[in-house]
Structure 1
Amino acid sequence: MTAKDCGRNHHQYRKKLCRRLLASLLGFIVLALFLILLIYLILRPTKPHFILQDATVYAFNLSAANLLTTSLQVTFSSRNPNERIGIYYDKIEAYASYHSQQITPPKLLPSSYQGHKDTTVWSSNLNGNSVPVAPYLAAALKQDRLTGTELINVRVEGRIRWKVGTFISGKYHLHVNCPAYVNFDSNSNGVAMGAAINYQLIMNCHVDV
């Protein structure tokens, strides 16, 4: 056998070895994905259930220059409905919006782990001082004041991870929208607390994961 034949055989052996290694790697990836899908189908993780419990409004005022000042204290809870799955809450932030425009800076909430069927309660102050708003938003606020009811949305953004036994999933984006209907006229359903008004809401929030 010539040196040329030996070189050709060695090259073919290396190609076969690479193919086997690649096939093994693809097989392992497919098996891992199948196991993850099987676990998901068996356990059926259900997204957490958020409730906006109350909101205390200290300020919600618009200046002549279309500057909105907002000061709220909100309390909301999250319940894990899963019996076999825990939830990690990572980098959770809350802020207030009005007619889809953010009116307070995001406020970082404590990260936490939520066990099976557990409930976690957060309370946070959301403050925006002289935030510029679009002219249409100023007009909408004036109209809502005339009708007597304003809708402020308390939004929660962050990432969650699922925990099954010792397995912890990757991060999933969490989007929560909690409606808070408030009014400031003589028929207000809030309770005056000095210069502030407290509203017991118990409003279900819309949750996307």
Structure 2
Amino acid sequence: MSIHPEPPEIPVAGYPALAPSPLAATDHQPKHPLRRLIIIAAAVLSFAAFVAFYVWFISEPCLPKFSVSSASLHGLSTTASFNVTFSVRNPSQRFGIRYAEAEASVTYGGWDSVVAKSALPPLYLGSDSSTVIRAWLVAAIADDWAVKGTVEFGFWIRAVAYLRSSALRPRRHHMMVYCCDVPFRFTNSTAAVLSDPQRPCKTVM
């Protein structure tokens, strides 16, 4: 016989008592962790791809290369006519360039002293390709041109350039090409020729 009596049983409401649900312990755990991880990884990869594409796009060298390949000057009685040929090369592997509203100018005695000006036709230059631009300009002569033997002129080309790529919309730029101190040598009193073929020019866009 037990010395200490057993405590009386306390009745449980809703007897028999139900076992706790196994989902109760996991209610606060995140659902579908693998799906969330995939979404985060996809977002990171998309951002990295965008950054890489942007760096590739802005770092692509796409400035065209201009040079004066040939030029001549004729008729020094009252006016002079310039026949100038520019060689143009687009070194870009990804972009084509379309030129519009182009204009060529000849200067003498300073960049602000324009002696001749002429419009140029529109031109499209594909990626990694070359072409030539021919300009014919008429200028009023200066008294000292023929007596100097060698005279230096400057050439300007101003144009609106559109960079074209299959992946992007065309981008508009104002382009300026200037060829400094291009020397002409007079062969007689009425004609002069370029004395330094393939004179390189500088392009700003």
Name the TM tier (shorter chain): 0.5 to 0.7
Aligned counterpart in structure 2 of residue 112 of structure 1, from 93, 98, 123: 123
TM-score for both structures, normalised by structure 2:
0.63
Identity %: 24
Structure 1 unpaired stretches of 5+: 1-33, 64-68, 131-137
Report the equivalent of 1:155: 156
What is the SS of the residue equivalent to 2:198? Answer: strand
Change (3 A) 1:168 1:120: farther
The yes-or-no answer on 1:53 pairing with 2:53 is no
Contact 2:156 2:177 (8 Å CA) reproduced: yes
How far apart, in 1, do the equivalents of 2:152 and 2:96 lie?
33
| RMSD between aligned residues | 3.0
How many pairs align? 152
Question: Any idea what SS the aligned residue of 1:157 has?
Answer: strand
| Equivalent residues of 1:86, 1:115 under 8 A apart | yes
How far the C-alpha of 1:148 sits from its partner, in A, is 3.5
Amino acid at match of 1:110: P
1:199 aligns with 2:194: yes
1:70: how far off?
Answer: 3.1
Larger Rg: 2
1:31-180 matches, cutoff 5 A: 37-38=54-55, 40-41=57-58, 44-59=60-75, 69-99=79-109, 100=111, 101-105=113-117, 107-129=118-140, 142=144, 148-179=149-180, 180=182
Gaps of 5+ in 2: 1-50
* TM-score under structure 1 length normalisation: 0.62
- Kindly indicate which of the two structures has a greater share of residues assigned to helix: 1
The answer to whether the 8 A contact 1:176-1:207 is kept is yes
Per-residue CA deviations over 1:35-85 (Å, capped at 9, x if unaligned) read: 9844523x5242100010111101456x8xxxxx33110001110000111
Q: 1:204 to 1:175 in 2, by over 3 A?
A: same
